[in-house]
């Protein structure tokens, strides 16, 4: 039986209202059923200051059984009741991700999928914002094309892009024919996508990654690996969505079905975000866009320099001699492209101490790379402020260079103290043989045992590793810290010094464990002798783990110095 009547706004809640609100909050249907028997119309009453009904409260609390029972007693129109924020109870079901609850409501009133709140967000939009895949899948299935207008469908697509649910956006784009002839909103979607990473894996690689995700999803300790695979797949879906949007725009413009959209904002957004794949996609259809300058006299490549986007800037090598138009351009402030390297890049985040040196080195690499392509006479050209590119660079990066210099010296100093301490310890150990010395010959008593030879080897290697570390750190402290030092020698010296220090740690612990074994009466058969290497490796691993980020940074800058600026292949192939 349906409850009938009108909704009432209760300025002062009665005892009955308090009881039904408590029952809805706790999911106590037995109490609610009795209360509804006393006053059936209470189901429509506002029970809170923000206008929630009993159904609103139960849905927000995810009380599925309660919702199923009360919906059966309600008129379909009652499910459309909204609180003061314009939200129906179905809104909370969509937001909470309870598909069973949403199904009950939709079966009673299918119009709920098209009802918006005061922010004009549909239930599908809300579910996408919550990234609840199961609820999104269900709502998309029950939301027909006719339920939402074109603007609402594109709002859903925009939400899917923000939530990185690119497969949902792509599905809507392909299946909803009402969106076919729209280009402006597709341009907006592309501009949003420009901020997102796009993958370039093949179909076979995608299939392999999907299988790996399925396999490793069952193993909790490999969750980090699963997350990495899923990120690769997500980036591939972003690329597929961008390709679909761009193909639609191109097709419609080729047949003059729509007014051409302004593609330059999309291109500039992609350049700022370092989205080289999208830049290539647009450039292949209109190369002139790469050669156009904005009102400030800057091109896509100038923007890439300003925002330090190496992958986008590297595309300049793929346009042949046309790059001359870019490198000879002077902007509104009298800057050539090398002057822009001197500008401080936008801060993306606060970086930790060791990154000051890495960032300083990166800026110098940028200066070196751009110098390769500008005319020689541009190196001494002054801008409207009277600065040459080099003067501008050191003026704006002086603090960063000083921070990098300070960090490098302090780090080398601390490491050298530790290395010196270890050298002192192992030097003393050489003349303090385990087991003592023979009173007659002065030769170590245990010198004929295998473990004694191992002891001598470990202590010798530990000593020379310590000396190597000391020399490397000393060379860092006495460096001039000029451009060449920042670019090449400093990180190499620090890396070699750290390798020497870690070697000293490894072999010093090995020395300790072998000496401990030698002090046993039955040294050769002692269980401790079997643990010598594992114990030393354990401590070495701990030391290595604590400095992993620094090591990765140094290894990357040493071994892959110019990999960020790899010349791109011809983008029109």
In a domain, 359, yes or no: no
CA–CA gap between residue 238 and residue 240 (Å, rounded): 5
**Rounded average pLDDT over 425-438:** 71
In a domain, 492, yes or no: yes
* Whether pLDDT at 2 is above 50: no
In a domain, 264, yes or no: no
**Residues in CB range of 337: below 8 A, 6 or more apart:** 301, 302, 305, 326, 327, 329, 370, 374
Name the range with the highest mean pLDDT among 67-71, 212-216, 326-330: 67-71
Domain carrying residue 441: 407-559
For 493, what's the count of Cα atoms within 13 Å in the CB-facing half-sphere?
25
pLDDT tens string 345-365: 776 544 555 577 778 888 888
pLDDT tens string 302-312: 999 999 998 89
Q: Which of 91, 125, 146 is the last residue of a domain?
A: 146
CA distances from 499 to 492, 495, 518, 546, 547 (A): 10, 6, 28, 14, 12
Decide if 497 contacts 468 (C-beta within 8 A). yes
* Whether pLDDT at 403 is above 80: yes
Q: What local confidence, expressed as pLDDT, does residue 519 receive? A: 66
Helix axes 389-430, 353-371, angle to 10 degrees: 130
In a domain, 129, yes or no: yes
Q: Which of 146, 177, 210 is the last residue of a domain?
A: 146
Q: Helix, strand or coil for residue 291?
A: helix
Q: What local confidence, expressed as pLDDT, does residue 317 receive? A: 87
Q: Which of 126, 146, 166 is the last residue of a domain?
A: 146
In a domain, 319, yes or no: no
Q: How many structural domains comprise the chain?
A: 2
**Rounded average pLDDT over 125-136:** 95
- Dihedral of the alpha carbons of 430, 435, 438, 443, in degrees to the nearest 10: -30
**Rounded average pLDDT over 89-94:** 96
pLDDT tens string 225-273: 788 888 999 999 999 999 999 999 988 887 766 677 888 889 999 999 9
| Tokens standing for residue 207 | 């299939």
Q: What local confidence, expressed as pLDDT, does residue 67 receive? A: 95
In a domain, 350, yes or no: no
Give the CATH number for residue 131.
Answer: 1.25.40.20
Give the CATH number for residue 431.
Answer: 1.20.140
In a domain, 395, yes or no: no
Closest CA to 128 of 152, 103, 101: 152
For 324, what's the count of Cα atoms within 13 Å in the CB-facing half-sphere?
3
Helix axes 99-108, 133-142, angle to 10 degrees: 20
In a domain, 526, yes or no: yes
CA distances from 87 to 52, 156, 233 (A): 9, 17, 35
Confidence of residue 434 (pLDDT cuts 50, 70, 90): low
The neighbour count for residue 216, using CB atoms within 10 Å, is 18
């Amino acid at each position: 039986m349906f409850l009938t009547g009108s909704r009432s706004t209760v300025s002062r809640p009665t005892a009955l209202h308090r009881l039904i609100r408590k029952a809805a909050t706790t999911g106590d249907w037995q109490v609610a059923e009795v209360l509804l028997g006393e006053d059936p119309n209470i189901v429509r009453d506002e029970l809170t200051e923000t206008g929630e009904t009993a159904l609103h409260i139960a849905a927000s609390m995810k009380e599925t059984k309660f919702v199923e029972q009360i919906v059966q007693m309600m008129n379909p129109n009652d499910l459309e009741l909204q609180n003061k924020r314009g939200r129906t109870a179905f809104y909370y079901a969509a937001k909470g991700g309870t598909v069973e609850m949403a199904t009950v409501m939709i079966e009673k009133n299918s119009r709920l999928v098209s009802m918006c709140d005061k922010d004009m967000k549909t239930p599908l939009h809300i579910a996408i914002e919550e990234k609840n895949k199961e609820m999104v899948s269900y709502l998309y299935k029950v939301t027909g094309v006719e339920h939402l207008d074109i603007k609402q469908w594109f709002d859903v697509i925009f939400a899917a892009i923000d939530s990185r649910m690119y497969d949902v956006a792509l599905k809507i784009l392909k299946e909803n024919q009402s969106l076919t002839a729209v280009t402006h909103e597709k341009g907006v979607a592309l501009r949003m996508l420009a901020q997102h990473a796009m993958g370039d894996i093949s179909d076979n690689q995608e299939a392999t990654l999907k299988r790996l995700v399925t396999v490793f999803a069952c193993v909790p300790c490999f969750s980090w690996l699963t997350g990495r695979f899923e990120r690769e797949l997500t980036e591939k879906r972003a690329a597929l969505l961008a390709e679909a949007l761009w193909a639609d725009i191109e097709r419609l413009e080729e047949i003059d079905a729509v007014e051409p959209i302004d593609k330059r904002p999309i291109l500039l957004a992609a350049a700022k975000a370092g989205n080289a794949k999208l830049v290539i996609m647009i450039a292949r259809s209109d190369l002139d866009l790469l050669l156009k300058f904005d009102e400030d006299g800057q091109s896509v490549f100038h923007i890439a320099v300003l925002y330090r986007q190496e992958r986008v800037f590297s595309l300049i090598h793929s346009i042949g001699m046309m790059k001359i138009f870019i490198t000879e351009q002077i902007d509104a402030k009298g800057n050539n492209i090398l002057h822009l390297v001197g500008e401080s890049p936008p801060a993306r985040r606060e970086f930790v101490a060791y990154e000051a040196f890495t960032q300083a080195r990166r800026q110098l690499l940028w200066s070196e790379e751009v110098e390769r392509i500008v005319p020689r006479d541009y190196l001494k050209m002054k801008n409207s402020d009277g600065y040459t590119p080099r003067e501008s660079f050191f003026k704006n990066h002086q603090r960063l260079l000083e921070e990098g210099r300070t960090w490098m010296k302090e780090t080398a100093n601390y490491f050298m103290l530790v290395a010196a301490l270890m050298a002192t310890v192992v030097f003393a150990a050489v003349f303090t043989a385990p087991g003592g010395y023979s009173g007659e010959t002065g030769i170590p008593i245990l010198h004929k045992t295998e473990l004694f030879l191992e002891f001598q080897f470990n202590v010798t290697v530990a000593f020379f590793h310590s000396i190597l570390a000391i020399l490397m750190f000393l060379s860092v402290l006495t460096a001039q810290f000029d451009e060449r030092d920042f670019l090449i020698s400093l990180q190499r010296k620090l890396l070699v010094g750290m390798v020497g220090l870690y070697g000293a740690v490894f072999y010093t612990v090995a020395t300790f464990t072998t000496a401990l074994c030698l002090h046993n009466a039955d040294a050769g058969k002692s269980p401790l002798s079997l643990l010598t290497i594992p114990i030393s490796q354990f401590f070495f691993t701990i030391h290595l783990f604590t400095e992993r980020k620094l090591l990765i940074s140094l290894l990357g800058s040493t071994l892959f110095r110019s990999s960020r600026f790899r010349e791109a292949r011809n983008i029109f192939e």
